[in-house]
Structure 1
Amino acid sequence: MTIVALNNITKRFTGDLILEKISLQVEQGERIGLIGRNGEGKSTILKIIARIEMPDEGIVSVQKGATVGLLDQMPSVTGTMVVRDFLRTAFGHVLALQAELEAMESRMMQDTSEKLLQNYGEKQARFIELGGYNLDTDMDKILHGLGIPHLADKAWEQLSGGERTKVSLAKMLLEEPDLLLLDEPTNHLDLKAVEWLTQFLRVYGGTVLVVSHDRYFLDEVVQKIVELENKELITYYTNFSGYLVEREERLLKEFKDYKDQQKQIKKMKQAIKRLRQWAMEANPPNAALFRRAKNMEKALNRIEVLKKPALEQKNMRLEFEESKRSGEDVVIFDQVGLEFGTQILFESLDWHVRQKERIAIVGENGAGKSTILKLILGELEPDIGTVHVGPSVDIAYLSQHMDVGDENQTVIEAFRDKVAVVEGDARHMLATFLFYGEMVFRKVANLSGGERMRLSLAQFMNQPVNTLLLDEPTNHLDIASREVLEEALRNFEGTIIAISHDRFFMDQIFDRTVWLEQGQIFSYGGNYSYAAQRRKAIVSRET
């Protein structure tokens, strides 16, 4: 049964055509991944389905009575409201039924009529069916799954943007809508929470449509990929790995069909030209040849000309400006201890990073991953012990917060603040990060998450370095841009230390994985998948 259908949807923003006559049918129970480049209109499709945006043309049909939940919505919440109370609003209908039951219980103190008792019994059965006695248990299960039980008693105004996103996700999962619309749900989650969400969605009772650039997540959750490319939707009935194979086969077939058709059109045009020439050269001119040429021309005009498929899209061109080699010892932590308030973050921490190592740091949110990078950068000092950075180590740091400069600056101004070049060279450099023409004069405040990350990368890549510190570098990048970044990192000759929850990215780039847990470092000589298997085996033996 179809839960939502989009028919010939067209959408424009400030005159720019975003979607053009797209159609999509979502069946009940499906798990669909919606992919495409940043700015193509994926989030707009979700908003149109959720009726937050209205299409300029076309029809949106949603199954009668079906509930739709969209993660992208940032709720309007009173600043002093506690997270637990906010989450309880997900059970509005159940709480209303509970209030009815309590009112009836008060009446039953004086009225024990059979009619009231029967009514109470029916409502109590409905309350049990809706899980009314398990509300707090269900809430705690979601909070622990997403790794945010510590936020339960915090006021909304105390939460960061990322924490509000996770709490909003928790509320939506508790609401259990018939159609769950998720826009980059893994962006603010640690690895443990990503794995929990993966399992939750695999057994979810409703329908899931998710926009994501997390390649392993797409492989594990969805059975259908819908790609938005050049304002068109193309459907693949497989997961992400299968999509890569089928997409290449489709493009090669389309390119062959296009070339074959072009050959046919060329031959027909040549034949028409010859027929007309022969007709003119005949004495008298040959009317039959003119008719044949005219009929062939009509046949040519009836041909539906195929569009030339784009085998290659424009991508960022990334190449690091490398400085001289660093010494063998890049970073040494010697008996490092650090406390925040009453929390002991590190205690007697020893760690040695050597030249050319590629290290992925993983751990739960709050384990101290970003703090490790800040200690290396000298932004924090340890309470005890020392952090030594080699004298010839030149560091470039890419922050997950994408601090690209003054929000009122233009793109080119923010870039030149960090990279000392003339305007002409700056525009050329920015073009390699897909900032073309007038785009360089857009205000930083008006950039999307993906555009901010591209600007941050542009500033980051044009510094002479031999050591890279990366904090969630793939956040906000589409799949094509992630692949370009991965290729640039493979070609980098220096040392790389990165924090990431992108398992595919870590498997591709890093040959050492450092697990940060309980203030200590557990090091594994292999990529993330190898380290995860090793840890699982160790935990199994210990339990």
Structure 2
Amino acid sequence: MSRKKNVEQIYGGTTIFTGLSFQIHSGEIIGLVAEMVKGNLRLQGLLVLKTLLQERLAGKKESTKGMLAQTPAREDITIYDLLQRRTKSIATAITTLIPTFPEHLGLEATLNTYGSLLDQFEKAGGYETEANIRRVAAGLGIADLLEKNLVDLKRGERTKVELAELLLQKPDLLILDEPTNHLDIYALDWLSKWIKDYTGSVFIISHDRTFLDDTVTKIWELEHGELFIYHTNYTDYVMEREARILRQFQHYEDQQKKIKKMTETIKRLKEWANRAKPPNASMHRQAKSMEKALNRIKRLQRPVETKQVALAFDTEQRSGNDVFTCENIVKHFDNTPIFNGVSLHIRHGERVAIVGPNGAGKSTLIKTLLRQHDVDSGEVTVGHNISIGYLSQHLEFGTSTDTVLSAFRNAATVTEAEARHILAKFLFYGYDVFTSVSDLSGGESMRLRLAQLMQQHHNVLVFDEPTNHLDIDSKEMLEEALESFQGTLIAVSHDRYFLNKSLSTTLWLEDGQLTRYEGPFNYARMKRSE
């Protein structure tokens, strides 16, 4: 178990939290969510909390810890050697120790060391190293990377390898920072099951709401420097949080009424006492006694109301009934088939999800519809009166000298004052609007592009991983904005919560074949499992 009491953390002169106490019991799976605040303060709060957890466990002799970082390391080693490194090092230590057994000097200490190494080897799954590596690699979709060198991998691939290494170590406390990044739908399901079966404790920082629902047994909410603990999953946490805030408002209002009533009573008693001839000492004593009681009341803080910003994707004109049509399209990359006779028909007003495993060609299909890629054979037709708003995974905004403000005004015809007002809704406050676009984080870039699209009034929206890098508040803002959209929506995404809430038709692309399901992601997955 990990325990920490009365922790205070100040960053840049601002108190992130104070009087914070927590404990983690063996076997618990905890998800951390935090409020959306200005700048990087929220990020700093999460990093500090992770540091506290690490430091506490570091002082416990019998506990081990492991953390998945957001920035994977680069190292000159094959993936297989990396994944077997820990058990191999223990095995090497054991084989080095065995020849010393005949020496009578220090034999007892040597035997103790030998026993300890055997325990470590067994706990690390040393006897099943090969099988465990193959199982984890297959689950995370990196089986084809085992013979490659780590330095040659892309960042997303390195992150998955680091996750695999961490899972194989099986620490007592597993700290996972956004573990679902770069995982496809099959790897997400596998990781959820693996975590639910994990015998140690798991601490998860994630914006993947479905993943939190599938795995956690507790939600920790860090809000205005205070930690609230909910013994449930994410969906139930949302409802319990709303109920808690309503109770807080009620308690606050009840106390304010009581304070007001006592204040008025004290005032009246003093007035009556002073009017009496001579002044009434008894009434003065009653007023004084009530004042003391009033001062002893512990004042409740007024709950902070989260203002919901109303955003929408508006359209200026309706598209034709047929938006995109593909007839038996075939495409290869480096002699590898991507589409084998794929056909589709997307009509006005449909909300279509394109899903499938990594590397299936989902982004390629979108770019084919947008005429950014040619096909080897077949026909792609774009309908009439179509205005397309495209959100790519890889965002670019003009030149590196552009600021948030100038990049936004390049895409929207508005005054500077209007632009700054709109950008504030997307969390670009004050001097944030003068930040260079080249310095924006992934989440900031995504919010800027969404702000642009909402001002352009397209009747067809094509999104490629739109919830990547967005926190939960921003995801919900996007989902609410899409609810009233009257045009056609097409999206590639691994965000199962977003898929089920915002997209009513599913196109499943796998092994070069496209299958249409007249229902959201969960329906499509159910039909494929039948």
What is the TM-score of this pair, normalised by structure 2? 0.90
SS in 2 for 1:22: strand
2:329 equivalent in structure 1: 336
Counterpart of 1:393 (choices 386, 390, 394) is 386
Determine the C-alpha separation between the residues in 1 that align with 2:478 and 2:185: 21
Determine the C-alpha separation between the residues in 2 that align with 1:19 and 1:53: 15
Task: Verify: 1:327 aligned to 2:320, yes or no.
Answer: yes
Match of 2:12, as an amino acid?
Answer: T
Determine the C-alpha separation between the residues in 2 that align with 1:241 and 1:54: 28
SS in 2 for 1:321: coil
1:71 equivalent in structure 2: 68
**1:35-184 matched pairs, under 5 angstroms:** 35-38=33-36, 44=44, 47-48=47-48, 50-51=50-51, 63-72=60-69, 74-78=71-75, 80-89=76-85, 91=86, 94-103=87-96, 127=121, 130-184=124-178
Counterpart contact for 1:43–1:211, Cα < 8 Å: no
Range with bigger deviation, 124-133 or 445-454: 124-133
Q: How many residues align?
A: 523
**1:239-278 matched pairs, under 5 angstroms:** 239-278=233-272
SS in 2 for 1:285: coil
SS in 1 for 2:343: strand
Please state how far the C-alpha of 1:423 moved relative to its aligned partner.
1.1
Determine the C-alpha separation between the residues in 2 that align with 1:288 and 1:412: 68
CA spacing shift, 1:65–1:452, aligned 2, 3 Å: farther
Determine the C-alpha separation between the residues in 2 that align with 1:488 and 1:305: 38
CA spacing shift, 1:303–1:52, aligned 2, 3 Å: closer
Determine the C-alpha separation between the residues in 2 that align with 1:15 and 1:164: 36
CA spacing shift, 1:446–1:268, aligned 2, 3 Å: farther
2:179 equivalent in structure 1: 185
Counterpart contact for 1:50–1:68, Cα < 8 Å: no
Match of 1:428, as an amino acid?
Answer: H
Determine the C-alpha separation between the residues in 1 that align with 2:358 and 2:297: 58
Match of 1:258, as an amino acid?
Answer: Y
SS in 2 for 1:344: strand
- Tell me, which stretches of 5 or more residues in structure 2 are unaligned? none
Please state how far the C-alpha of 1:405 moved relative to its aligned partner.
5.2
Task: Verify: 1:216 aligned to 2:213, yes or no.
Answer: no
Please state how far the C-alpha of 1:369 moved relative to its aligned partner.
0.7
SS in 2 for 1:145: helix
2:523 equivalent in structure 1: 530
Counterpart contact for 1:11–1:18, Cα < 8 Å: yes
Counterpart contact for 2:124–2:169, Cα < 8 Å: no
Counterpart contact for 1:218–1:240, Cα < 8 Å: yes
2:6 equivalent in structure 1: 8
Determine the C-alpha separation between the residues in 1 that align with 2:471 and 2:357: 24
1:234 equivalent in structure 2: 228
Task: Verify: 1:495 aligned to 2:491, yes or no.
Answer: no
Q: Give the alignment's Cα RMSD to 1 decimal.
A: 2.9
Task: Verify: 1:381 aligned to 2:374, yes or no.
Answer: yes
1:413 equivalent in structure 2: 406
Counterpart contact for 1:201–1:221, Cα < 8 Å: yes
Counterpart contact for 1:84–1:153, Cα < 8 Å: yes
Please state how far the C-alpha of 1:534 moved relative to its aligned partner.
0.6
Counterpart contact for 2:213–2:234, Cα < 8 Å: yes
CA spacing shift, 1:442–1:60, aligned 2, 3 Å: farther
Counterpart of 1:197 (choices 191, 202, 206) is 191
Match of 1:278, as an amino acid?
Answer: W
Match of 1:254, as an amino acid?
Answer: Q
Counterpart contact for 2:35–2:223, Cα < 8 Å: yes
Q: Deviations over 1:255-306 (max 9, x none)?
A: 1111111100000110111112112222233333223222212211111111
Determine the C-alpha separation between the residues in 2 that align with 1:62 and 1:355: 61
Task: Verify: 1:297 aligned to 2:288, yes or no.
Answer: no
Please state how far the C-alpha of 1:54 moved relative to its aligned partner.
9.9
Determine the C-alpha separation between the residues in 2 that align with 1:43 and 1:293: 50
SS in 1 for 2:428: coil
Counterpart contact for 1:216–1:503, Cα < 8 Å: yes
Determine the C-alpha separation between the residues in 1 that align with 2:157 and 2:65: 22
Determine the C-alpha separation between the residues in 1 that align with 2:114 and 2:431: 68
Counterpart contact for 1:315–1:480, Cα < 8 Å: no
Determine the C-alpha separation between the residues in 1 that align with 2:245 and 2:333: 54
Match of 1:88, as an amino acid?
Answer: Q
Counterpart contact for 2:9–2:16, Cα < 8 Å: yes
2:462 equivalent in structure 1: 469
Determine the C-alpha separation between the residues in 2 that align with 1:37 and 1:449: 19
SS in 2 for 1:498: strand
Counterpart contact for 1:395–1:467, Cα < 8 Å: yes
SS in 1 for 2:498: helix
Range with bigger deviation, 265-274 or 94-103: 94-103
What is the TM-score of this pair, normalised by structure 1? 0.88
Determine the C-alpha separation between the residues in 1 that align with 2:15 and 2:231: 28
Please state how far the C-alpha of 1:124 moved relative to its aligned partner.
9.3
Counterpart of 2:478 (choices 482, 485, 495) is 485
SS in 2 for 1:529: helix
Counterpart contact for 2:72–2:155, Cα < 8 Å: no
Please state how far the C-alpha of 1:374 moved relative to its aligned partner.
1.2
Please state how far the C-alpha of 1:342 moved relative to its aligned partner.
2.7
Match of 2:6, as an amino acid?
Answer: N
Match of 1:438, as an amino acid?
Answer: Y
Counterpart of 1:352 (choices 345, 352, 374) is 345
Counterpart contact for 1:225–1:238, Cα < 8 Å: yes
Please state how far the C-alpha of 1:114 moved relative to its aligned partner.
11
Please state how far the C-alpha of 1:319 moved relative to its aligned partner.
1.1
Please state how far the C-alpha of 1:346 moved relative to its aligned partner.
1.0
1:540 equivalent in structure 2: none
- Tell me, which stretches of 5 or more residues in structure 1 are unaligned? 538-543
Q: Deviations over 1:448-485 (max 9, x none)?
A: 44333222211222212001111122223233332222
SS in 2 for 1:138: helix
Counterpart contact for 1:179–1:208, Cα < 8 Å: yes
